[in-house]
Structure 1
Amino acid sequence: MKDEKLVIKDLLSKDLKSHIILKIEKLDISYGHVCWKIKTHKGNFLLKIAERKTDNHHFLNEIYAQRLAIESGMKVQRVLVAKEVPNSLNKNYYIQEWLPGSDAQKSISNFSGLEKQQFSWEFGETLAKLHSIKGDFFSEDLLGEKKTSSWRELVTNRLEKLLHENREVCVLDNKTIDNMEEKCNRLLQNLSDNIEPGFTHRDLYLSNVLVADNKFLNIIDFEHARFYDPLWDFVKVEAWIFRKFPELRAGFYKGYSNKFPWENEYDFRITLYEGIEFLAAFPYFGKKFPDRRMLAMFNYELQEWINIKSIKFEGEFFGK
């Protein structure tokens, strides 16, 4: 079998013909891709090879997401080469500019209190900028190949899909699943019909935020982006970031609200989306990619949602 580095060098000799390759280094920075840092006489680049999501549609949606982010003024790495299957690797891959910095998950604990305040404010402000990219439809992608006639239809479809998957994998007991179905549907009845589609990242945790010199740099990795109600992003922001770093919450919401003033209805919508999104964790971490630690964390989140969060909004109606 041909050496892995030789395969990559051969690929780069064709895709970066005008570059002298000085060094290639395999990186451990992604769950969904195999990543290589490419050093050339013209600068550094990143090669990302799809591993978990291998279909061409997902790949093309990821490339399109980055293009939309760049066009909106985001500091996103420009894609130089994008090749879908069939190709020499027999895997979808792309090469993009290298953006210096490190992921915030590894660095945030070393920030001073003032640095955390500034970081969280800029993070919130940048997410608001991303959410200001409007779509013409709701869809389980950005390309519009999986669009629905309404936001209510998409949310209903996603809920029904996840309820079915949970009954198939048998990680949660049927009583809990039935309880979630009842509570989510009750909240869904009160969902506004006036929500507009916007660019939604759908995978916001600190490893997808870059920092440099203890300052916010940018949001990265748009492989899960879709045209949703952008408030869906707050599910992971709350569970994955603010649960561990509550000191970041206030500054983040101030930065976000600077563009989108917070409305009472937002809390209701986020609560509904939390219930649905927490259901997704059990087929994923229970069967597809087993992880007992993550299952335990999401079981805690789910029980808290059932016993505390969902009750707050039961019986309330927000203007449809």
Structure 2
Amino acid sequence: MSSQSLGDERIRSLLAALLGAAEPFRIEVIPSHLYVCRKVMQGAEAFLLKIALASGPGEDLLRGVEAQRLAQARGARVAEVVAVSGGASASEHAFVLQRWVPGMTGTKALKTASPGELISIARSLGRNIALIHGALRERELDDRIQELRRGGWRAQCARRLAARAQACQNTGGLAAELGGTLARRCSRLIEECLEEVGIGLVHWDLHMDNVVIADAELAAVLDFDRAELGDPLVDFVKVDATLLMEHPAGLPPFLEAYSAVHPLGPSWDRRIFLYQGIEYLSALSQLHFFPDEAERYLRLTRRWLANERHRWQGLASA
């Protein structure tokens, strides 16, 4: 698809080529800041079409598709990819067509979930995240994984921490004040708790708007575009911020289901605590852009500074 042809007529032509034109399409716009997204209905079937806004190779989208397929092969619940194109030339837009997953976002489902449904959601989410994190087990001897285990992951965390701490200092005010304290504590944690880190597939954006819930069960994890190698426990940060912090009854079943499938590893609670600190640093430097989120992230930051990692301790074996 060329850079001059992201209109609906061209999209219809693309869909006809992918799905056939025996039955008419119904197309619904899905809001997105990163892609041109359309829900496509043809007869009894429904699909999601994602087209990269920028032309060219579409590395993020292709990386996401690869991660999605690896997770699916491991048994995780993800959307089925029907077709994908990486953008064959500088004027072409990468796209992916996948089957639509019926249900509602995790955020919406949690608003009406009963206590029993919350437990079911947390348990199914924990199991499926563990399956995603274990999707690279057959590649454990790959050079990149070995490099991260030998110290590359610690160095990557240190670079990420330094960049976010500097952003807080540049922002000034409360961000600089709280950010300095967070950064110092995170620096100590990097030295103390990253000796033995299991490297796996990290989603990197696992919040409750990126999961689909149906019948109080996880139906699919979505949007793997940021997926890459790293310590899988990074994904616990956004799960905690958007699910477990507000619904603490979900924490024990989540950890029980997760650890039954994938090991948490040494110092796992301190590693989560570290990754939370780095994430909150990032948020502090951008609160002025997102005033609606400011109060929530300030609350999370202050709870972190109050050393709340004890919430995780004693709930699962390493």
TM range (shorter): 0.7 to 0.9
Q: RMSD over aligned Cα, in angstroms? A: 3.4
For the residues of structure 1 that align with 2:134 and 2:191, how far apart are their CA atoms? 26
1:200 aligns with 202
5+ residue gaps in structure 1? 313-320
2:9 aligns with 6
1:299 aligns with 298
How big is the shift at 1:269?
0.8
For the residues of structure 2 that align with 1:223 and 1:2, how far apart are their CA atoms? 23
Which of residues 25, 35, 38 is equivalent to 1:36?
Answer: 38
2:314 aligns with none
Which of residues 25, 30, 44 is equivalent to 1:27?
Answer: 30
For the residues of structure 2 that align with 1:105 and 1:311, how far apart are their CA atoms? 25
- Please say which of residues 51-60 and 156-165 is displaced more in the overlay: 51-60
CA 1:68–1:260 in structure 2 vs 1: closer, same or farther (change >3 Å)? Answer: closer
CA 1:261–1:11 in structure 2 vs 1: closer, same or farther (change >3 Å)? Answer: closer
Question: Is the 8 Å Cα contact of residues 76 and 129 (structure 2) preserved in structure 1?
Answer: no
For the residues of structure 1 that align with 2:5 and 2:135, how far apart are their CA atoms? 44
Which of residues 229, 232, 235 is equivalent to 1:233?
Answer: 235
C-alpha offsets along residues 163-202 of structure 1, whole Å, 9 cap, x if unaligned? 2333344464434333222211111111232212111112
Which of residues 15, 19, 31 is equivalent to 1:16?
Answer: 19
CA 1:168–1:71 in structure 2 vs 1: closer, same or farther (change >3 Å)? Answer: same
1:281 aligns with 283
5+ residue gaps in structure 2? 312-318
CA 1:138–1:266 in structure 2 vs 1: closer, same or farther (change >3 Å)? Answer: farther
2:315 aligns with none
CA 1:55–1:306 in structure 2 vs 1: closer, same or farther (change >3 Å)? Answer: farther
For the residues of structure 2 that align with 1:255 and 1:269, how far apart are their CA atoms? 19
CA 1:294–1:81 in structure 2 vs 1: closer, same or farther (change >3 Å)? Answer: same
Residue type of the partner of 1:308? Answer: N
Structure 1 length as normaliser, TM-score?
A: 0.81
Residue type of the partner of 2:184? Answer: E
- Please say which of residues 150-159 and 1-10 is displaced more in the overlay: 1-10
1:308 aligns with 307
1:151 aligns with 153
1:315 aligns with none
How big is the shift at 1:38?
0.9
2:95 aligns with 93
How big is the shift at 1:97?
1.6
Question: Is the 8 Å Cα contact of residues 59 and 86 (structure 2) preserved in structure 1?
Answer: no
Q: Which secondary structure does the structure 2 equivalent of 1:25 belong to?
A: strand
Aligned residues: 304
Question: Is the 8 Å Cα contact of residues 46 and 98 (structure 1) preserved in structure 2?
Answer: yes
How big is the shift at 1:246?
2.2
Residue type of the partner of 2:25? Answer: L
CA 1:54–1:157 in structure 2 vs 1: closer, same or farther (change >3 Å)? Answer: farther
Where is the helix percentage greater, Structure 1 or Structure 2?
2
- Please say which of residues 93-102 and 130-139 is displaced more in the overlay: 130-139
How big is the shift at 1:2?
8.5
Structure 2 length as normaliser, TM-score?
A: 0.81
- Please say which of residues 69-78 and 43-52 is displaced more in the overlay: 43-52
Residue type of the partner of 1:187? Answer: L
